[in-house]
Structure formats: C-alpha cells, structure tokens
Amino acid sequence: MSIIHPVILCGGSGTRLWPKSRKDRPKPFLPLVGECSLFEATLERCAKDNGFAPVTVVTGAAHRELVESQLLQAPDATIIVEPAARNTAAAIALAAARLPEDAVMLVCPSDHHIADSDAFRRAACAAADLARQGWLVSFGIAPKWPETGYGYIKAGEALEGGFKVDRFVEKPDLERAKAFLSDGGYSWNGGIFAFTAGTFMEELRAHRPDIAEGVVAAVEKGRPDGNCFHPDAASFASIAGESVDYAVMEKTSRAAMVPVDMGWSDIGSFQSLRDALDGDDSGNRTAGNVELVDCANVLVQSDGPRISVIGLSDVAVIVDGDEILVTTMEGAQKVGKLKGATDQ
C-alpha cells in the first residue's frame, strides 16, 4: 500500500462546550478526554509511527499559534493558514491542490474523540484502498442511538472493504432516525473522508468549478513560509463557502463508504463529553475538586474551587475560570445560546 496523507481540519470555534471552550481556546485544543487535546490525539492517530505521511493541518490565522504549540510531536507537518474561513470544500481543496494527484488524502476533523485507534487505522487502510480505485470514501460510523444531530449515509452495493453510497441523508427527525437504526443499513456521517488528491479536484471541478478554480489560484499565488503555507488572500476570499458534503460528496457518482465501529464521538455537547469519559459505579464523571452525594450520571468538572453536588442525576456542572455552568444533559444543547457563550 502507498502511504496515506492525513489532512487535519482545524477550523471553526463552536460554542457548545462553553465555558470550557472559549473563543481564544477552541475545542480542538482542549484536553477534554484524557491528557492530550483532541487535536493532539488526532495527530497521534495519524502519526508517522503508525505508517502515515507527514500531516497537513488546515487552519485559520486565529488558531495558528495554538496549532503550532501542539504540533511539537510532528515537526515535519505542514500548516496551511487560511486567510478566511470558507468551509470544508475549500479547506480540503487547499490541501489537495498541493499534493501529488495520486496521493491518498485522509481528511480528519480535529475535534472528535475516537476511543479505538486500531479500528480507525483499519478503516483508514480500507478507505485508502478504495480511494486508489477512484472512489471518494466516507467513514460510515456505526450508529449507537437514533441521533437527530448527525447526517446519515445509506450503504448501497458492496465493494471490496466497503460499499457504494446509496445516498446521504440530512439530519433526520427522531422517527426517521429510529427507522434508520432498525433498518441497519445506515451509518453516521462523521466527516472523515479518503480520496486521492486528483480524484477530489476532478470531482470538485465537475460540480463546483468556481471553488476549484479559486483554490488553484490561491495556491498558485500562495506563499510558503517555513512549514507554513499562506494561500493568496484575495483569491481565497472570493471563494464561496460550502461544505464538502454539499459541494462534492452528495453530488459525485463515485461516493463509497467504509463501515467502522471505533468509539467515535464528536464531543458535540456536555452529554457527549460525559459519555466519552469513564464513569464510576454510579456513572458519575468528575474532574478537579468535587464532592458528590446521591448523584448519578453527572459530569462535574472544576478547574479551581470545590464543587459539592447533592441529589442530582444527568446534569453537568462546569466551573471554568470566571464562569459556572449548570445544565441538564438535555439542556446542554442550548449552551451555545447563553449570553456567556455568545458575548465572548
């Protein structure tokens, strides 16, 4: 097998884990599960020791310093510094346009948790094999519950090591999500993709020539700077912001998927964070100076003062600097709407 080129997307700044995540301290760079950050864990999964080519990180200028501070273990990494945020189609194309046409790219978000790295790498190899045959491959993540917050992938005809994609399905309502689960042929779309750089650019040119041309121009007029690459700002700014799903994956006739069950979580809420952490016998997850009495399935984390909690189940109590959040797990979806999260 030829080597896989990891492309790690490190953009955006969600507010759903506020106050742990802040504007100047976004989610990928926080040690939410274990001792290293989600970004560092992503690097580790795609490390050279594990048979991968040096990584390409695509990020914005705002996060460049954070990226560099956490890239110490990957000195041969390349950082593509986006002059503006233009969503995932353009971000991936920036990396694709700079790689050889036959290079197999493995596109990974930087803020997901994957408990089973071996399963991840096995799926990466299967996806790379299909990518070399000209497929654009999505990881199809084994769904664990009828989640309404994710898109789904319906598997079609079998391929070696995977399936053709029958269709991509937008976030369903609960009834449909339940039907997907009992059907068995549906996976979660976790935003992890494999394709050769050439195939990707070809398909992007076919379906969104504007984005493809804009990115090629931004790269041609771009400026290398040590291990960084700065695409041309004016060319890049004029590109339409579009997700890779809309721009390419849902349009191409060459979409495939590899099924994978790897303890995946997007850590998209405090409920997800709780579920990704190991609990005690009562399902409680704590960090810092915490005392619990009669609690079950709570997530209680303090970076300073003691938190004492009595009699609660399925709540999150997060103390971070000058902010304190107390929420039900259901209410955790609304964290991003709090004044604290939006005013920062």
Beta bridge partners of 141: 188, 260
Amino acid identity, residue 48?
A: K
Nearer of residues 30 and 309 to a copy of itself, judged by Cβ? 309
> Under the criterion CB under 8 A, does residue 304 sit at the interface with a copy of itself?
yes
> Under the criterion CB under 8 A, does residue 297 sit at the interface with a copy of itself?
no
Q: Minimum Å distance from CB 221 to a copy of itself? A: 45
**Interacting stretch for a copy of itself, rule CB under 8 A, among 60-68, 129-137, 141-149, 286-294?**
286-294
Q: Which of 172, 297, 309, 344 binds a copy of itself (CB under 8 A)?
A: 309
How far apart are the C-alpha atoms of 294 and 150, rounded to whole Å? 34
CA distances 148 to 141, 170, 171, Å, are 14, 9, 6
The tokens for 291 are 């005392």
Nearer of residues 73 and 308 to a copy of itself, judged by Cβ? 308
How far apart are the C-alpha atoms of 134 and 157, rounded to whole Å? 16
Residue the block writes with tokens 């952490």:
277
Count of residues engaged in binding a copy of itself, rule: CB under 8 A? 34
**Beta strand pairing status for 152-159 and 56-60?**
unpaired
Rg of the chain, C-alpha, whole Å = 20
How would you classify residue 187: left for phi > 0, otherwise alpha for psi between -120 and 50, otherwise beta? beta
Scan residues 189-228 and list those touching a copy of itself (CB under 8 A). Answer: none
Residue the block writes with tokens 């654009």:
136
> Under the criterion CB under 8 A, does residue 337 sit at the interface with a copy of itself?
yes
> Under the criterion CB under 8 A, does residue 315 sit at the interface with a copy of itself?
yes
Q: Minimum Å distance from CB 149 to a copy of itself? A: 17
**Interacting stretch for a copy of itself, rule CB under 8 A, among 66-74, 96-104, 113-121, 333-341?**
333-341
Q: Which of 227, 243, 328, 344 binds a copy of itself (CB under 8 A)?
A: 328
> Under the criterion CB under 8 A, does residue 339 sit at the interface with a copy of itself?
yes
Residue the block writes with tokens 């890049």:
236
How far apart are the C-alpha atoms of 33 and 23, rounded to whole Å? 20
Residue the block writes with tokens 């598997």:
155
User: Shortest CA distance to 140 belongs to which of 132, 156, 149?
Assistant: 156
Q: Minimum Å distance from CB 16 to a copy of itself? A: 12
Scan residues 14-73 and list those touching a copy of itself (CB under 8 A). Answer: 19
Amino acid identity, residue 254?
A: R
Q: Which of 38, 177, 256, 335 binds a copy of itself (CB under 8 A)?
A: 335
> Under the criterion CB under 8 A, does residue 156 sit at the interface with a copy of itself?
no
Q: Minimum Å distance from CB 272 to a copy of itself? A: 16
User: Shortest CA distance to 268 belongs to which of 18, 10, 24?
Assistant: 18
Nearer of residues 241 and 331 to a copy of itself, judged by Cβ? 331
Nearer of residues 227 and 328 to a copy of itself, judged by Cβ? 328
Which stretches of the chain bind a copy of itself, using CB under 8 A? Answer: 19, 291, 293-294, 302, 304-312, 315, 317, 319, 321-328, 330-332, 334-335, 337-340
